Each structure stands twice: as C-alpha cells, then as structure tokens.
Amino acid sequence: SAVISQKPSRDICQRGTSLTIQCQVDSQVTMMFWYRQQPGQSLTLIATANQGSEATYESGFVIDKFPISRPNLTFSTLTVSNMSPEDSSIYLCSVDSAQTNYGYTFGSGTRLTVV
Amino acid sequence: DAKTTQPPSMDCAEGRAANLPCNHSTISGNEYVYWYRQIHSQGPQYIIHGLKNNETNEMASLIITEDRKSSTLILPHATLRDTAVYYCIVSIRDTGRRALTFGSGTRLQVQP
C-alpha cells in the first residue's frame, strides 16, 4: 500500500498566522483527500485535491481559509489561513491504495494548536 | 454513502474475541463495508472490507448478514494494543476518486 509522509507532525501557532501542511506519497495517486479532526471528534472531509485542477471543497470549508495545492501526482499541501483557536485540530491527508488491498492510507496527521 | 450506526463504546477482556457491530440498513447493492481503526493520535488504519461474503485477513474477520443491513467486525484475540476507535464505513468502490465518510465510531477499550 502507499506510504504517506506528512509534515509537520505538530505545531503551535499564533492566531492570525498561517500554516502549510505537506503530504508526500511514495506513488502516483489520482486524488488526495484532506480531513480535519477536531478534539474528541471524528474525521471530517475538508476537500479533495486532483492534480491539475482546483480542489473540491465540502460544505463549510472554503478555499480562502484552506487553500490547497496539488502540483503533481505525489504531493499536496493544505494551508490553514488566518488561524484562530477554533482551528486547533488534527489535520490528515489520505489516498486510496487501490493497487493492493483497496484500503485508504492516511498520513500520521498534523496536530495544530492555535494560541 | 449509506449511513452507519455503531455503539459509542465497548469493553473487551484481553485475549477474548471482540465483536464490534455495525448497522447499515440503507446500504445499496454496490456499496462495500469498510472497517478502519484509529489508535490514539495516529491516522486511521485500514482493517478489512467486504461486499457480500464474509472476509478474513491477518487482523480480523468481517461477517456481513445475508441482507447486508448489518455487519460485525471480529478481533479474535484482542490485545491491549487493539484499544482504539473503530469506524465502520459504507462506500462505493470508485478507484480512488471518492473519499471515505467517517461516522462517530466505536471506542473499544481492551481490559487487562
């Protein structure tokens, strides 16, 4: 199955600033998915990133707040912009490891704390 | 995707089988049942999936009822390391173009 390297693993940021999270996959994948997991909650899909086109955002998430880049088939970034304490969450990327067991692979997550 | 219903929490004694139920009464014919788990502070981990037939791998067994409206994940000999949140997800197979939708899951606590 695919292996994902997600960076940074954690960060503490000042409100009003921005943080860019990177996901690198060891194989080419069609779609990359970005999730948010608020404290004590389940995972919520933020957006789907397709190489060469603008990301597709879920209801409640907008590009100005969570801009996404997908420059090639193995890499994507998610930026959390103009952060507030409510953005404190774990952010995860995911891809479909369709080549093997049909399971989706997830990065280890970025634990963001906004102060 | 079909909605799933899972108990919020369960306990299991170490060494015993853990049976985690999931209801998906609105599942459609082309939707698979996936199980993932999330150990504290880590990304979700794939466990197993199935369409109609029961499935078994090195981690677990998946039992799907004949009408496909419910399923059970079985961890045959639970260990303390199996303490995690277990998610039952129903989704069509769309060759990597479709994200998984997570419900609230079942928090399994394996007791020594």
Q: Please report the pLDDT score of residue B92 as a whole number.
A: 83
Supply the pLDDT for residue B41.
Answer: 76
**Closest Cα partner for A32 from A48, A52, A56?**
A48
How many Cα neighbours within 13 Å face the side chain of B19? 5
Token pair 């695919």 in the structure block, residue: A2
Summarised one tens digit per residue, pLDDT across range A73-110 is 999 999 999 999 999 999 999 998 665 555 789 999 99
Q: Residue A107 is nearest to which of B43, B95, B105, comparing CB atoms?
A: B43
To which residue do tokens 């954690």 refer?
A10
> A34-70 pLDDT, tens per residue?
999 999 999 999 999 988 888 999 999 999 999 999 9
State how far residue A30 is from chain B, nearest Cα, in angstroms: 7
Least CB-CB distance to B46: which of A33, A101, A111? Answer: A101
Pairing of strands A68-72, A10-13: unpaired
- Residue A29 has a pLDDT of 87
Q: What is the pLDDT of residue A110?
A: 97
Q: Are B43 and A94 within 8 A, CB to CB?
A: yes
* Number of H-type helices and E-type strands within chain B: 0, 9
- Tokens at A14, concatenated: 């000042």
Kindly state whether B35 is in contact with chain A, defined as any CB-CB distance less than 8 angstroms. Answer: no
pLDDT in tens, B55-68: 999 999 999 999 99
pLDDT tens track for B3-42: 999 999 999 999 999 999 999 999 998 899 999 999 987 9
Mean pLDDT confidence for B48-53: 92
Between strands A75-80 and A68-72, the pairing is antiparallel
Q: Tens of pLDDT along B82-104?
A: 999 999 999 887 666 778 899 99
pLDDT at A102: 59
Please indicate whether, in this complex, the C-beta atoms of A31 and B102 are within 8 angstroms of each other: no
CB contact under 8 A, A48 and B99: yes
User: Residue A56, Cβ neighbours under 10 Å: how many?
Assistant: 13
